[in-house]
Amino acid sequence: MELIGTTMQIDILLSQQQLILSDSEQQLMRCAVSTAANGAGEKNGSYQTPRGRHIIRAKIGAGLPENTVFRGRRPTGEIYSPQLAAIAPRSDWILTRILWLSGCEVGKNRLGNVDTMRRYIYLHGTPDTTPLGQIGSIGCIRMANADIIRLYELAPIFTPVNIID
């Protein structure tokens, strides 16, 4: 799917654990991310990061404070803190903003057992203590909170997202 009049796109380079936002071949943003510890893959239940062409289907969290905690794509009313982390030390925190992805390639990352959106794959904020620039998530693309806020402000819904192995 391509939007008329927009040349903005996001490339996520799995081998480099980097995100690049560009517009008309001008780089607007580059940052470290963390993708799946299980590597790349599209199958439901794999806990892998899906490859291929996607779009931002939904944006969640406008105007909420940095470190807002989300569960089921809804803010819980909590703000992440070390004290909260101590209560739930094994949580995979989804913080600050969510950019929910939808696959564009039927049979690869859209529909059936490989549907990115039904797998709830997001770009989202993560605690400041989470290592970035290396694998570690359960499928989503983790970003520093300041970076997800900036990306959220710059990239409109339907921005193409290419996840490259």
**Whether the Cβ atoms of residue 129 and residue 115 lie closer than 8 Å to each other:** no
Rounded to 5°, angle at Cα 132 from 129 and 14:
155
pLDDT at 6: 61
Classify each residue of 61-86 as buried b or exposed e, where b means 16 or more C-beta atoms within 10 Å of its C-beta: beebeebbbbeeeebeeeebeeebee
**What are the C-alpha distances in Å from 39 to residues 50, 66, 84, 139?**
9, 28, 29, 8
- CA separation for the pair 80, 104 (Å, rounded): 33
- CA separation for the pair 101, 38 (Å, rounded): 19
The predicted model scores a pTM of 0.94
Q: Is 26 helix (H, G, I), strand (E, B) or coil?
A: strand
- Greatest CA separation found in the chain? 47
pLDDT along the chain (165 residues), means of 10: 67 98 93 98 98 98 98 97 93 96 98 98 97 97 98 97 97
